[in-house]
Structure 1
């Protein structure tokens, strides 16, 4: 999703595709930060990861998305069967995802669980916010990795897949993700990119069901 302000200029990185794995059903890619997963509205937002992939793999089909500002592992399908199979895995929460984030402040606890329902903030969309009456369930487990000069490196495990879930959940516990143009303020926002990376994705292969885990090195 693109930031909801008129001063935003979309300048996606001009980097080669980083293919993590390819076979007859799957294509795993390390998405760079700053690149849309799918096209936005308007020709100026046409450049995106799936369009770049389809130039090399015309049959590629969308399964899920990462926010424009988030980097890391994404899976695409190469057949309609694989798209259905993977879509059900995401829907039934059979996939396992792990993210690495740098957040503002020094997190005191070693680990924790966040259970805060989320819904779109309609007057300010695409922003999301916590709403205990109408929000959809959203849960995140987290583990502190290390404290770094007044910030904390964390590993995040989303149990649900709500839009902006990790970004809102971190802000709500008082530790916004560094460089977040939506939810961080002040010095926490003054970083060259959103410090959020989809580090690993575990899924079952659509052909045979074997469990596979794919990883992309954290770039920050």
Structure 2
């Protein structure tokens, strides 16, 4: 995999790359191919490869932030943990929420299920908040922009399913038919806004959606 072609932004502290869908960002318990295996391509003259400042799900595409050295990584981790990095996602969903925009405030908890696990809404879970708006809707599908205010595992997938708009292609969550789950997962990290320097404007980076998602968005935007 050539990650050089996927660099969206680079400075002395960080990189933002356009993560492809279908590959995990790091190795899981079973090992296997993962994005970190290719980070050495992104040293750009530094003595070590960059490292993940946050994570995206295996099947999510779009803006992924990397720290280029330990000091920068610590700063990015702090900005993420303090909620100061603004993230915007695009999703194509099965179903249209009752409200065209709003805030989903539903705590989440990771629960074991047989040999695996899933994330569920639970009163004793961690705080999880997502703002959303419906950009377009047609034929029972909705094109949604979602802005997570917290960064919980599978947050957008669970929250959008909770309001009756599960993401097309999601292998786990929501009331989806086998045909709906057969799509590539239509969740894309569209934009990040990073206040990396106190005396400069925040860095804003956008990633174009993958081809299949872009085509679906175009059809909905044109009312086709």
Same fold judged by TM-score > 0.5?
yes
1:213 aligns with 2:204: yes
The 10-residue stretch of structure 1 (172-181 or 107-116) with the greater mean CA deviation from structure 2 = 107-116
1:150 aligned residue = 140
Alignment of 1:170-209 (within 5 A): 170-184=160-174, 185-187=176-178, 189-205=180-196
Match of 1:141 among 131, 145, 148: 131
CA contact (8 A) 1:27 1:76 kept: yes
Where 1:126 maps in the other structure, the secondary structure is strand
Q: Distance in 2 between matches of 1:105 and 1:121?
A: 26
Q: Distance in 2 between matches of 1:146 and 1:183?
A: 22
1:53 aligned residue = 39
How far residue 103 of structure 1 moved from its aligned partner, in angstroms, is 0.7
CA contact (8 A) 2:42 2:49 kept: no
- Residue-pair matches, total: 204
Query: Structure 2 stretches of 5 or more lacking a match?
Result: 214-224
1:38 aligns with 2:29: no
2:108 aligned residue = 118
Q: Scaled by the length of structure 2, what TM-score is found?
A: 0.84
Where 1:33 maps in the other structure, the secondary structure is coil
- CA separation of 1:59/1:53 partners in 2, compared to 1, >3 Å: closer, same or farther? closer
How far residue 209 of structure 1 moved from its aligned partner, in angstroms, is 5.5
Deviation per CA, 1:177-211: give whole Å up to 9, x if none.
11100114315633431100000001122585641
Q: Distance in 2 between matches of 1:80 and 1:209?
A: 21
CA contact (8 A) 1:178 1:188 kept: no
2:76 aligned residue = 86
How far residue 122 of structure 1 moved from its aligned partner, in angstroms, is 1.9
- CA separation of 1:15/1:148 partners in 2, compared to 1, >3 Å: closer, same or farther? farther
- CA separation of 1:147/1:138 partners in 2, compared to 1, >3 Å: closer, same or farther? same
The 10-residue stretch of structure 1 (20-29 or 104-113) with the greater mean CA deviation from structure 2 = 104-113
CA contact (8 A) 1:36 1:48 kept: yes
Match of 1:77 among 34, 45, 67: 67
Where 1:39 maps in the other structure, the secondary structure is coil
Where 1:87 maps in the other structure, the secondary structure is helix
- CA separation of 1:62/1:108 partners in 2, compared to 1, >3 Å: closer, same or farther? same
Alignment of 1:22-33 (within 5 A): 22-33=10-21
Q: Distance in 2 between matches of 1:207 and 1:106?
A: 40
How far residue 175 of structure 1 moved from its aligned partner, in angstroms, is 1.2
